[in-house]
Structures are given as structure tokens and as C-alpha cells.
Amino acid sequence: MKRIIILIPIFNDWDSLNKLLAEINNNIKDIKNFYFECLIVNDASTISRPKILKPPNIRSLKLMNMKINKGHARCNAFGIRYVSQKEKFDYLILMDGDGEDRPLEIRSMIDKISIYPDYSVVAKRIKRSEGFFFKFLYSLHKIITKIFTGKKINFGNYSCLTSKDVKILSDEKSLWSSFSGSVKKHLNNLNEIESIRGSRYFGPSKMSLLNLIIHSFAIMAVFKYQVFLRSFIIIIILFFLNSYFDVFSFFSYFLIALFNIIIFLISFREQKNELFKSQENLESIKELNH
């Protein structure tokens, strides 16, 4: 039997968590040769926790309470490093706790790792549930990322990682800033499944425009040297085309320079020391058996 841990960061979304656990339970009940455990990372929630029931098909359910809110990405980074150091497992599944990562796609991941057991699996987004403006910005983000990094990054946190890949990521400082960027940079063998972004179970999305922009820059900052090199090449091309575009070229120089400055500043979010001492933020671990 292969052991799979499902890592779920939570900040105040307790009602969503209970519904998510119930749906996970329904979608794993017929899966053979694997057993599942859940690790909930409570990111210093400010809303009192209701009773959380352990579903029958989840063998173990643990709640890890953090002292200080660090944000979703850093909860994942903490969880990955904790599991790598403290748990014995075969695979780690990362999921959002609000319903946007659909539990029914767990089966597709299991099917993929059953065929290719040494390859991690990411959930490639083929359809999103947000409004037009968000979809437009997301598409723009993918285009800019491709141009300046040479990488096509069309997945988020939802993934199934091998224990070997978890160990690799757990030592990379970029994990503290961007999961998907770190996966693309440091993991060589990846499979993918097609994934539809689900709708939140309760309430509006917590992803603000500012957070979306920071998220996008954080991914590109993982590849900052590629960004700098490609920016330099683009500037050279614009220089030779200057007679055709005139004022537009100088405006482009300014935008590219500003873009690279932001990338450079965002790269300081990659803190290896913070990642390595992230367990100091752990307040308690509670086994939820009922």
C-alpha cells in the first residue's frame, strides 16, 4: 500500500474544509493500493474552528496550528518541508481548502502515478471559473511569463509530488516565494492532468488584484537571470528598430527596466533562512479522530 498525504492550508475557511474533506472521502473510497492521510495547516485563523469530522476513508487527520499568519504560499512551503523531514510517505498532494481544486481530479492523479510512479503530476488548468477580467489577466500573465522566462507555467499548487521531489523542493529557497515556479525550475520529470478550476464553496475569492500581480512576479523571479538576459536581448532588438518606432522605443526601455527592477526586488522574497526555520512558527499539532 502506498501512503499519500494531502496537504491543505486553511485560513478561516472552516466550512469549506468540512465540505472538502467530505468530497475527498467520496472520491477516494474506491481507490485501491493507496491509503490517504490529511494534514491541515491552520494559518493562524482568526475565526473559531468548528468541529471537524474525520471521514472514514481518510486514515489520519492532523491539524497543525501556526502562531503567525504567513500566507498561503508559505503555508505550503512549511508543509512541504515539514512532511519531508517528519513523515514517511510515497506521495504528497497539495490542495487549496476552498473548493477551487476539485477533489474528483484526485483519481486522475492516482491513475497517472500508477502508470508513471516516479513522476510528479501537476494539474494543468484548461478552464477557469473566474470572471472575464481575471481570466484576461491570467492569460496575460502566462504570455509575459513565456516571453521573459521561456517557460510555460499553466498550473498552480494543485499537484501530486513524489517523495523524492518533495525532498528536492524542501531545500530550495524559491519555494518560500513561489511553488509553481520552483516546481518548473527544479523538477525535471513532470506529468500533467487536465484540470478545471472549481468555484469556491463559500464566499468570494480572496485573491486580490495586488496579490495576483505579486504572485505573477514571484513566479518570474524564480527565473530572474533568464528574465534579465531576455530583457537585454529585447532592448538590443528595440535599439536597432529605434528609427521605426522612435518615442515608443524609449518608452519600452523604461517599461522593461522597471519590470526588471520589480523582478529583482520580488526575488528577495526567496528566503532560505525563513524556509529552514519555518517550523518555529508551529504552535501545536492535534490529531482529529472524531
Q: Which fold has domain 2-131+152-203?
A: Spore Coat Polysaccharide Biosynthesis Protein SpsA; Chain A (3.90.550)
Instruction: Give the residue among 192, 178, 183 at the shortest CA–CA distance from 268.
Output: 178
pLDDT for 96: 93
pLDDT for 197: 85
Residue 237 to residues 129, 144, 146, 224, 257: CA-CA distances in angstroms? 38, 17, 18, 20, 15
Residue 214: all three cell numbers together = 505579486
For 24-41, give the DSSP string: HHHHHTT--SEEEEEEEE
CA–CA separation, 246 and 281 (whole Å):
54
pLDDT for 3: 97
Specify whether the CB–CB gap between 24 and 55 falls below 8 A. yes
The helix (run of H) or strand (run of E) holding residue 190 is strand 190-196
pLDDT for 185: 96
pLDDT for 249: 67
Apex 239 CA angle, 233 and 240, nearest 5: 100
pLDDT for 22: 95
Q: What does each of the 290 residues of the chain score in pLDDT, given as a tens digit?
A: 899 999 999 999 999 999 999 999 999 999 999 999 999 999 999 999 888 889 999 999 999 999 999 999 999 999 999 999 999 999 999 999 988 999 999 999 999 999 999 999 999 988 655 666 667 877 888 899 999 999 999 899 999 999 999 999 999 999 999 999 999 999 988 999 999 888 888 876 666 677 778 889 999 999 999 999 999 999 888 887 776 666 566 788 889 999 999 999 999 999 999 999 999 999 999 998 76
The helix (run of H) or strand (run of E) holding residue 22 is helix 14-28
The H-assigned helical ranges of 171-223 are 179-186, 209-221
pTM metric for this prediction = 0.91
CA–CA separation, 129 and 87 (whole Å):
35
pLDDT for 239: 80
pLDDT for 195: 92
